Structure 1
Amino acid sequence: MDVTPILEGLNEAQKEAVSASEPALLVLAGAGSGKTRVLVHRIAWLIATQNLSPHSIMAVTFTNKAAHEMKSRVEGLLGRSAANMWIGTFHGLAHRLLRAHCRDAGLPETFQILDSDDQLRVIKRVMKDMSLEESEWPAKQAQWFINKQKDEGRRPKDIRANGDLFTNIHCKVYYQYQQACQTGGLVDFAELLLKAYELLRDNQHLREHYQERFRHLLVDEFQDTNGIQYAWIRLISAHECDITIVGDDDQSIYGWRGAKIENIQRFEREFSGTKTIRLEQNYRSTGSILKAANAVIENNQERMGKNLWTEGNDGEPISLYAAFNEQEEARFIAARIEDWYQQGNAYGDCAILYRSNAQSRVIEEFLIQRQIPYRIYGGLKFFERAEVKDTLAYLRLMYNHQDDAAFERVVNTPARGLGAKSVEKIRELARGNQSTLWEAAWELVEEQALSPKATLALAEFLNLIKFGYEEFHELPLSEQIQMTIEASNLMAMYEKEKGEKALARKENLAELASAAREFDVDDYPELSPMTAFLAHASLEAGDTQADQYEDCVQMMTLHSAKGLEFPLVFIAGMEEKLFPHMMSMDEPDKLEEERRLAYVGITRAMKKLYLLYAEKRRLWGKDTYPAVSRFIREIPAQLKEEVRLNATFSQPVSTRTRAINDAAANDTGFVLGQMVEHAKFGVGVILNFEGEGDRTVAHINFESGESKRLMLSYAKLKPC
């Protein structure tokens, strides 16, 4: 086979990686350096030059999308089908192995795979059989514990509780869950990997068969491997199998879900004769963006080292925007996107990135106001998130006992000992009486028609709803929501859970109270504040998110952005305690992962990057005055400029300072920094102007702490 086409179009480092003959190859592939191309061409090279059968090569990646793309490109290079090649995800290949040897693995031929939701249901059933109260021992916490142990290759017998009650209880749950899965022929995702590893570890014949069969193992995104995946790789490649790993320690951002950055760092030590090749030429971003990314990531101490560069030009400097608060930040983003679109660009070429899911809420509001289509990539809109909908359901039921949908949603959320049979009895009685679920529930309580435990639980729920309305309805809107979150035990439920998802849920609950505090009831003069807010939430949760194929702005967390690229990128909330996150600032390892996350975010941008921070932000229910993120400060001054509406600055300066010192060029009779008085809001200072003529809008910070944007032609401001 002619190998010339295989090396055609590759740069020198890529050619070296594709054609390397060493038994162990480590390819450190920087962002946008063409790592997938190198993997695909290396597979073709091995088949063409070493006479390897396509079936003697195993290639492992992390997503089905990446696996399909790899197969397709291999087929294109080889001119033959790759359908039967062992190219797939860790889970997909483990599943293939277990299907082929189910009896040796102790599994029935008809074993079923549990997704995350199904796994949780089985765990709940096991915990109920163990008489563990959901309120004290959340099933999601047990799920997290079990999966974490499996990711590290541990069975219940391998775990030492050492007198710790948490570990002891969860070990017992793990054991009972394992028995239930074995009886039912069920395998969860973490079990696929652990069971496949144990199959090869404990069966010498099978282990030697596969070690001899696979002559070359290639692994993509190696920095994201966990304990059991690394052990699995070591086992397969322990004999005569050569190995190529591709990864980037600077993009290791999934430590919270078990990924171990030390796996890629120790590869050179544990695989003798390793050759390391660095792919540093970037084909995605401008020079300024790459220099900024390099400057940030070089502050990490434990890294293997590389320096991204491009043959392209430096492009525009990175733009910084110092907003007064999160509303101004969101307004600026929406305005810039509108300008971008009007210049003939596509919405889909633009991404808004943020550290916390809760940040999306304010940005969504301003995109909706300007009718800018958007999608939450890999997630839900703010008002569609489960914890937010749960809280709103409590409120809806407090204000309207006839709301059966709200009743069903929260009658056992958090779990309070009302099983499916009890809830079905409520439904049956309501149907028979043609009454509401609320009325039926009271009748069952009064007649004590349920078990004593269920009757007590139902009575407590009904009284909670009554008490909530009677005690909370005269409080300010945000306090009603905060008190409901606390009284319902929703916050307490998530405080007992662990992991990034539980943290995001708690942040979203706090953000819901912030949304209520900012809600303008004047927009709904005919409704009570709570009724108005609930109507607003329902409308916001309506069909305003663009469909999958519509040209739309992409919104996502920084974690979700890995592997993607966009011509225009905004990173919002570049502030200390938000990014880097407050939960990471006191631990060096976690802080370095936050910096890697910043590196990933910066390198998503191809042409233009905006970094935004606010001088005041309502964060997790509290007003904060954060410092600018260290990640901004780590970017050299010559690479960045501060932006405002009609001018730029080469250095970041305080919004307050420039508001006082700069005058606005407008015909309104007012200037920036001027003190003014409003009949409703009192005395304030003008921070900014938008628009011109009769449509000029002034951004005013009032002494009351409120920040308003008022159209000057209607506001009737008086100079002080």
Structure 2
Amino acid sequence: MGKELWTAGSRGEPISLYAGFNDLDEARFIVDTIKEKVDEGYNRREIAILYRSNAQSRVLEETLIRQGMPYRIYGGHRFYERLEIRNALAYLRLLLNRDDDASLERIINVPARGIGTRTVEILRERARHTDVTLWQALHDGLADASLKGRAGNAIQAFADLIERLDNETAGMSLHEIIAYVIEHSGLIEHHRSEKGEKGQARVENLEELINAARAFTQGEALDPPETGEGGVALEAFLSEAALNAGEHEADEFEDGVQLMTLHSAKGLEFPVVFIAGVEEGLFPHRMSLEEPGRLEEERRLCYVGLTRAMRKLYLTYAEIRRMHGKETFQRASRFLREIPAEYMEEVRLRGQISRPVTAMRPAVGLSRQTSVNGGGDLPSLSLGQRVLHPVFGEGVILNAEGEGERARVQVSFEGEGDKWLVLGFAKLTPL
């Protein structure tokens, strides 16, 4: 016998879709919308932000912290408290200050290099007895040959590694320093060798640390003149990371927004749900495109995410996202195209709502803006005008909204489909 499905609830609201011009804009939209929901009477604990990759939480966390909004990471750690991030920061702190005993102890055998707990204890005892730092005790032990054999060789290799990293990163920019240290310390290769998604998540978190450094020097955390370059920027960045790792997470009984991966959300429900980063390569994850059967797992995971919302669901993605320290153009996820258009609405600038662009239907009942003025060195563009993009090639402008460098245009590219682009980033050339 077949089952008849029914619901006691009334017909709900349509799914709201938001396309941020970058990941920071996406995060700001989510946090601003949460504020509106709280003003409407929702508790923060009734609102959840879901994401496919653990590394996505970094931008969301920093935006919540800046807005003074309490939050909790469900089933995991905050970005700067994750093991691989703390290890990377310890390497960076030791480059700046060899007398940082806590950082030295944390990474002296990470990745494993044959320095056991007994050797570390010998160093501690020597440092206490002679009233010097661990770094000095390490060199003293090598000098008088009290550290010898396999342990002595391993200690010497570690000391040489730190000095080499310091020398070879001289003159580099902040994000280049971090990328170099993560790679040449062996941290990223160590986690690449881990099996399964856990190792992949750790690698993605380390790559996100590089993104955080680039964002920091571009003024998203501080004004660029305050950050400086090289070691000065590194010191400022480490101070900022320490602040972000502070007591910002909501206490167990405090009303805080819930952040979690889609996997962690299984079995849970919330009145309001945001699913962030609904983009090709992120969700579905790029690994799923390389292995047979994985795409269907991603599709089922998407269904899990969609059904976590009890009253209101928001799907968001970024048109430009920092990946591996570089800004890349993103495509909206194929999963968005699989949702019937009549169940979705697109949230645009100035609070407008229209049918989603993924449905490739014109907005209903809204007056359309016919041109945009970029201002400064940016071009003024009109509907129907042909333009050239450095990546997507030639296209025709279909829609426009806003003014200035944050104005956006919808362009139809041959072979690439329709894309919303921000004038300040898109580098469009009128034809």
Instruction: Report if TM-score (shorter chain) is over 0.5.
Output: yes
Closer, same or farther: CA 554–514 of 1 in aligned 2, 3 Å: same
Contact 1:355 1:573 in 2 (8 A): yes
Contact 1:673 1:687 in 2 (8 A): no
- The correspondence for 2:345, drawn from 621, 632, 641, is 641
Pick which of 394-403 and 625-634 moved more.
Answer: 625-634
Matched, 1:427 2:427: no
Unaligned runs of 5+ in 2: 379-402, 409-421
Closer, same or farther: CA 510–492 of 1 in aligned 2, 3 Å: same
Contact 1:429 1:440 in 2 (8 A): yes
Distance, in Å, in 1 between the alignment partners of 2:426 and 2:327 is 15
The Cα of 1:613 is off from its aligned counterpart by 1.1
The Cα of 1:470 is off from its aligned counterpart by 1.8
Alignment-mate amino acid for residue 701 of structure 1: G
The Cα of 1:389 is off from its aligned counterpart by 0.6
Alignment match, 2:146: 449
Alignment match, 1:496: 193
Distance, in Å, in 2 between the alignment partners of 1:653 and 1:601 is 19
Distance, in Å, in 2 between the alignment partners of 1:500 and 1:437 is 36
Closer, same or farther: CA 369–523 of 1 in aligned 2, 3 Å: farther
Matched, 1:652 2:362: no
The Cα of 1:483 is off from its aligned counterpart by 0.3
Alignment match, 1:332: 29
The Cα of 1:522 is off from its aligned counterpart by 2.8
Distance, in Å, in 1 between the alignment partners of 2:204 and 2:227 is 32
Alignment match, 1:558: 262
Distance, in Å, in 2 between the alignment partners of 1:480 and 1:446 is 30
Distance, in Å, in 2 between the alignment partners of 1:332 and 1:351 is 14
Matched, 1:541 2:245: yes
Helix, strand or coil for the counterpart of 1:675? coil
Closer, same or farther: CA 419–378 of 1 in aligned 2, 3 Å: same
Contact 1:662 1:672 in 2 (8 A): no
Contact 2:175 2:325 in 1 (8 A): no
The Cα of 1:312 is off from its aligned counterpart by 2.5
Alignment match, 1:341: 38
Distance, in Å, in 2 between the alignment partners of 1:676 and 1:703 is 15
Alignment match, 1:577: 281
Unaligned runs of 5+ in 1: 1-275, 282-308, 665-670, 679-683, 690-698, 706-720
Matched, 1:318 2:15: yes
Helix, strand or coil for the counterpart of 2:376? strand
| Paired residues for 1:597-616 under 5 Å | 597-616=301-320
Alignment match, 1:701: 424
Helix, strand or coil for the counterpart of 1:561? coil
Relative contact order, CA 8 A, sep 6+: which one is greater? 2
Alignment match, 1:627: 331
Which string of whole-angstrom CA distances, capped at 9 and with x for unpartnered residues, describes residues 102-139 of structure 1?
A: xxxxxxxxxxxxxxxxxxxxxxxxxxxxxxxxxxxxxx
| Paired residues for 1:76-155 under 5 Å | none
The Cα of 1:675 is off from its aligned counterpart by 2.8
Alignment match, 1:675: 375
Q: TM-score, normalised by structure 1?
A: 0.50
Matched, 1:482 2:179: yes
Which string of whole-angstrom CA distances, capped at 9 and with x for unpartnered residues, describes residues 65-104 of structure 1?
A: xxxxxxxxxxxxxxxxxxxxxxxxxxxxxxxxxxxxxxxx
Distance, in Å, in 2 between the alignment partners of 1:376 and 1:367 is 12
The Cα of 1:334 is off from its aligned counterpart by 0.5
Alignment-mate amino acid for residue 388 of structure 1: I
Closer, same or farther: CA 464–587 of 1 in aligned 2, 3 Å: closer
- Aligned residues, how many? 378
The Cα of 1:702 is off from its aligned counterpart by 4.9
Alignment match, 1:376: 73
Pick which of 463-472 and 362-371 moved more.
Answer: 463-472
The Cα of 1:487 is off from its aligned counterpart by 1.1
Which string of whole-angstrom CA distances, capped at 9 and with x for unpartnered residues, describes residues 510-529 of structure 1?
A: 00001001103537828710
Matched, 1:355 2:52: yes
The Cα of 1:630 is off from its aligned counterpart by 1.1
Contact 1:477 1:530 in 2 (8 A): yes
Distance, in Å, in 2 between the alignment partners of 1:401 and 1:673 is 53
Which string of whole-angstrom CA distances, capped at 9 and with x for unpartnered residues, describes residues 244-268 of structure 1?
A: xxxxxxxxxxxxxxxxxxxxxxxxx
Contact 1:372 1:552 in 2 (8 A): yes
The Cα of 1:345 is off from its aligned counterpart by 1.3
Closer, same or farther: CA 700–405 of 1 in aligned 2, 3 Å: farther
Contact 1:513 1:621 in 2 (8 A): yes
Helix, strand or coil for the counterpart of 1:427? helix
Contact 2:374 2:423 in 1 (8 A): no
Closer, same or farther: CA 704–457 of 1 in aligned 2, 3 Å: farther
Which string of whole-angstrom CA distances, capped at 9 and with x for unpartnered residues, describes residues 212-257 of structure 1?
A: xxxxxxxxxxxxxxxxxxxxxxxxxxxxxxxxxxxxxxxxxxxxxx
Contact 2:250 2:256 in 1 (8 A): yes
Distance, in Å, in 2 between the alignment partners of 1:435 and 1:557 is 45
The Cα of 1:454 is off from its aligned counterpart by 1.1
- The correspondence for 1:522, drawn from 220, 223, 246, is 223
Helix, strand or coil for the counterpart of 1:623? strand
Distance, in Å, in 2 between the alignment partners of 1:463 and 1:595 is 48
The Cα of 1:314 is off from its aligned counterpart by 2.1
Q: TM-score, normalised by structure 2?
A: 0.82
Alignment-mate amino acid for residue 563 of structure 1: G
The Cα of 1:456 is off from its aligned counterpart by 1.2
Closer, same or farther: CA 277–442 of 1 in aligned 2, 3 Å: farther
Distance, in Å, in 2 between the alignment partners of 1:662 and 1:372 is 36
Closer, same or farther: CA 653–313 of 1 in aligned 2, 3 Å: same
Alignment match, 1:149: none
Q: Percent identity?
A: 49
More helix by share: 1
The Cα of 1:622 is off from its aligned counterpart by 3.9
Which string of whole-angstrom CA distances, capped at 9 and with x for unpartnered residues, describes residues 489-515 of structure 1?
A: 001111111011111000000000010
Which string of whole-angstrom CA distances, capped at 9 and with x for unpartnered residues, describes residues 583-619 of structure 1?
A: 1123342111111100000000011000111111112
Which string of whole-angstrom CA distances, capped at 9 and with x for unpartnered residues, describes residues 469-494 of structure 1?
A: 22213201111000000111001111
Distance, in Å, in 1 between the alignment partners of 2:249 and 2:106 is 23
Runs of 4+ aligned structure 1 residues displaced above 6 Å come to none
Helix, strand or coil for the counterpart of 1:628? coil
Indicate the structure (1 or 2) with the bigger Cα radius of gyration.
1
Contact 2:142 2:148 in 1 (8 A): no
Which string of whole-angstrom CA distances, capped at 9 and with x for unpartnered residues, describes residues 18-38 of structure 1?
A: xxxxxxxxxxxxxxxxxxxxx
Which string of whole-angstrom CA distances, capped at 9 and with x for unpartnered residues, describes residues 165-214 of structure 1?
A: xxxxxxxxxxxxxxxxxxxxxxxxxxxxxxxxxxxxxxxxxxxxxxxxxx
Contact 1:672 1:687 in 2 (8 A): no
Helix, strand or coil for the counterpart of 2:424? strand
Q: How large is the Cα RMSD of the aligned pairs?
A: 2.6
